[in-house]
């Protein structure tokens, strides 16, 4: 599963350069020139890391991160800033930064810092838990929370949701699901997958308002 990195940088050329190099390393990126849409993005996407400039229009980056931390956000943050005085760097860490890179910087150093943070945080996050939007799967207890509400799933439904979340950027065809969730038993057919997907949808989205699972006609299923 590719890590998703959210970048907030008000200089468009720098933002595009960072996105380009991170994409080359196999990461997914979301780029913003200010903080206006960041809270919404964090609510809707499973962001693994935030790269945050401090000198931003309308908001100071570290103050904005501090406000997110106060609301309970635990996503790791690397500040990338021209504020390079010792007291400014210290301020960044005190306001919720996990790392701090001063401008100008070498792109290779940024990549190495990103990988170091993700090695540490993804090991802790994904060994026992899988998340997507407001869904949390506890792999050890095999329990599911939607927001904070427990949802009862069968073993098959849990394994199906786990496969979808683990491959949340990929359209999974029915053959893949039959092999990896049902174990490749030839008695199962495509219709088996359709029925199970519909049953899972009913349980995790009974009001049909969240649309977690998208059907790609003629191909398979993916999370959205």
What pLDDT is attached to residue 182? 79
65 SS3 class: helix
Tally of domains in the chain? 2
Same domain? 162 vs 93: no
What pLDDT is attached to residue 167? 83
Same domain? 146 vs 120: no
> Taking residues 77-82, what's their average pLDDT?
96
- Give the residue with greater pLDDT, 36 vs 184: 36
Q: Single out the residue of 176, 160, 153, 148 nearest to residue 213, CA to CA.
A: 160
What is the chain's mean pLDDT, rounded?
88
Residue after which a domain boundary falls, among 70, 102, 124: 124
DSSP 184: S
For the domain that residue 77 is a member of, what is the CATH number? 3.40.50.2300
Q: How many CA atoms lie within 13 A of 32 on its CB side?
A: 21
What pLDDT is attached to residue 127? 53
Same domain? 116 vs 169: no
Same domain? 9 vs 90: yes
- Give the residue with greater pLDDT, 6 vs 167: 6
Name the most confidently modeled range: 24-38, 120-134, 172-186.
24-38
Report the percent of the chain where pLDDT is more than 70.
Answer: 94
> Taking residues 31-55, what's their average pLDDT?
92
Same domain? 103 vs 204: no
Backbone CA torsion sign across 17, 22, 27, 30: negative
Same domain? 188 vs 85: no
For the domain that residue 208 is a member of, what is the CATH number? 1.10.10.10
Same domain? 218 vs 144: yes
Same domain? 19 vs 118: yes
Contact 183, 175 (CB under 8 A): no
Same domain? 52 vs 16: yes
What pLDDT is attached to residue 130? 84
Same domain? 21 vs 87: yes
Same domain? 141 vs 183: yes
Digit-coded pLDDT (tens) for 26-35: 899 999 999 9
> Taking residues 100-116, what's their average pLDDT?
93
Domain range for residue 208? 129-223
pLDDT for 126 beyond 70 = no
Same domain? 38 vs 111: yes
Residue after which a domain boundary falls, among 79, 106, 124: 124
Digit-coded pLDDT (tens) for 141-159: 889 999 888 999 888 899 8
> Taking residues 91-112, what's their average pLDDT?
94
Written as six digits, the tokens of 160 are 């199906």
Separation CA 126–CA 149 (nearest Å): 20
Task: Give the range among 38-42, 182-186, 201-205 with minimum mean pLDDT.
Answer: 182-186
Residue after which a domain boundary falls, among 95, 124, 153: 124
> Taking residues 175-193, what's their average pLDDT?
73
């Amino acid at each position: 599963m590719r890590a998703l990195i959210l970048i907030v940088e008000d200089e468009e050329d720098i933002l595009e350069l960072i996105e380009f190099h991170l994409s080359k390393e196999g990461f997914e990126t979301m780029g913003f020139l200010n903080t206006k849409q960041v809270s919404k993005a964090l609510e809707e996407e499973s962001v693994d890391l935030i790269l945050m400039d401090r000198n931003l229009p309308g908001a100071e980056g570290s103050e904005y991160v501090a406000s997110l931390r106060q609301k309970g956000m635990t996503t790791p943050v690397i500040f990338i800033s021209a504020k390079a005085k010792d007291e400014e760097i210290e301020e960044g860490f005190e306001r919720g930064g996990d790392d701090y890179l001063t401008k100008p910087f070498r792109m290779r150093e940024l990549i190495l810092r990103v990988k170091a943070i993700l090695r540490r945080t993804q090991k802790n996050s994904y060994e026992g838990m899988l998340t997507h939007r407001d869904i949390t799967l506890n792999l050890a207890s095999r329990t599911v929370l939607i927001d904070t509400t427990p949802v009862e799933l069968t073993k098959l439904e849990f394994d199906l949701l786990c496969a979808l979340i683990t491959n949340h950027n990929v359209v999974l065809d029915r053959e893949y699901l039959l092999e990896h969730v049902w174990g490749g038993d030839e008695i199962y057919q495509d219709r088996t997958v359709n029925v199970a997907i519909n049953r899972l949808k009913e349980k995790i989205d009974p009001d049909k308002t969240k649309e977690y699972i998208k059907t790609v006609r003629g191909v398979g299923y993916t999370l959205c």
